[in-house]
């Protein structure tokens, strides 16, 4: 038999205060984001160990080389104290590299992280309003995601493989300026054509760099900030008169690849969460009442890669 094994620890909640600020991000016209102070960084971190070194634990119950998953959890917490970077991708690579340096019998790793977002509270300052440096609200909306593989070169050097960045759980609604019409119709079709409709979508956006080190090294000039991706997606959604969700995500993807030449791939997993119309005002047809639709919902996927 051939075997492939992996084991690890998932959803290790970790909160790091006073990390290195993210600075030097190249501004883009679609987003006001230029820096992040990183007073509080939070994430759920996963580690997955691959390779044959731990096979005896499966076949013979021999645990002598097994690093307990509880130890992995403690390791992530302890080593996060030494992290001197400013990005989620850099954080994951730092922890993964320390695993491979500490445990030489670990052959390969996959690290993944899902941001636990906190947003600075707006508080009075000098007659106006400013972001607090110590008080934060827990965010429950969209969040950054990342994953990275780690491997060893022949000389023992540890390097990143298949680094992926993303923004998950993005939800946006546009009350006018979208349509869905002229689609295929047959005896099963009941959906009316809608030349102008509100469009409510849930969307996960992913992207890959031509060089994974861009997201890990301290130089942020070519780093694609997650907040900028959100800003670009919102700008396109606001400006673009889409004929379908497929049309919309393709336009966002085209804009991302044009804006950031360092990206080689962008991807989308979108859901159609369009509300059901309940009532329309007799005096002003713009005034309407909607309700959440019944399940199920539509799913739309797209991957754009450079040649």
Q: Give the DSSP letter string of the chain.
A: -----EEEEEEEEEEEESPPPB--PPPBTTB----B--SEEEEEEEEEEESSTTHHHHHT---TT---HHHHHHHHHHHHTT----SHHHHHHHHHHHHHHH-TT--EEEEEEEE--EEEEEEEETTEEEEEEEEEEEP-S-EEEEEEEEEE-TTS-EEEEEEEEEEEEEEEEEEEEEEE-S----TT--PPPEEEEEEEEEEEEEEEESSGGGGTSS--TT---HHHHHHHHHHHHHH--BSSHHHHHHHHHHHHHHH-TTEEEEEEEEEE-PPEEEEE-SS-TT-EEEEPPPS--EEEEEEEE--
Report residue 51 as tokens: 């390779």
**Catalytically annotated residue among 20, 69, 217, 235:** 69
- Cis check for the bond before 296: say yes or no (omega within 30 of 0): yes
Q: Is 288 a catalytic residue?
A: no
Taking the CA of residue 304 as centre, how many other CA atoms within 13 Å lie in the half-sphere pointing to its CB?
Answer: 16
Distance CA 18, CA 14 (A): 13
**Catalytically annotated residue among 9, 48, 73, 174:** 9
**Catalytic (active-site) positions:** 9, 69
């Amino acid at each position: 038999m051939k075997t492939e094994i992996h084991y690890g620890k998932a959803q290790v909640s970790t909160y790091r205060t006073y990390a290195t600020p993210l600075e030097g991000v190249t501004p883009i016209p679609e987003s006001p984001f230029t820096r992040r102070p990183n007073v509080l960084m939070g994430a759920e971190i996963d580690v997955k160990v691959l390779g044959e070194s731990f096979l005896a634990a499966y076949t013979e119950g021999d645990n002598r080389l097994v690093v307990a998953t509880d130890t992995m959890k403690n390791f992530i917490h302890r080593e996060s104290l030494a992290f001197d970077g400013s990005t989620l991708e850099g954080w994951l690579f730092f922890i993964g590299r320390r695993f491979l340096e500490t445990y030489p019998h670990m052959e390969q790793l996959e690290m993944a992280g899902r941001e636990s977002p906190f947003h600075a509270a707006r508080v009075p300052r000098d007659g106006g309003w400013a972001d607090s440096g110590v008080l934060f609200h827990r965010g429950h909306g969209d969040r950054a995601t990342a994953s990275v593989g780690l491997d060893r070169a022949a000389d023992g050097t540890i390097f990143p493989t298949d680094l992926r960045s993303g923004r998950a759980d993005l939800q946006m609604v546009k009350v006018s300026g979208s349509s869905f019409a002229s689609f295929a119709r047959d005896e099963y079709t009941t959906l009316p054509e809608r030349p102008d409709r509100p469009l409510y979508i849930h969307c996960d956006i992913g992207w890959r760099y031509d060089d994974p080190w861009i997201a890990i090294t301290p130089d942020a000039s070519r780093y694609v900030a997650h907040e900028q991706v959100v800003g670009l997606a919102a700008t396109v959604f606001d400006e673009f008169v889409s004929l379908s969700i497929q049309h919309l995500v393709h336009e966002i993807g085209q804009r991302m690849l044009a804006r950031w030449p360092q990206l080689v791939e962008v991807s989308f997993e979108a859901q159609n969460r369009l509300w059901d119309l309940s009532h329309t005002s007799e005096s002003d047809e713009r005034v309407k009442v909607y309700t959440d639709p019944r399940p199920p919902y539509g799913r739309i996927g797209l991957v754009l890669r450079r040649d």
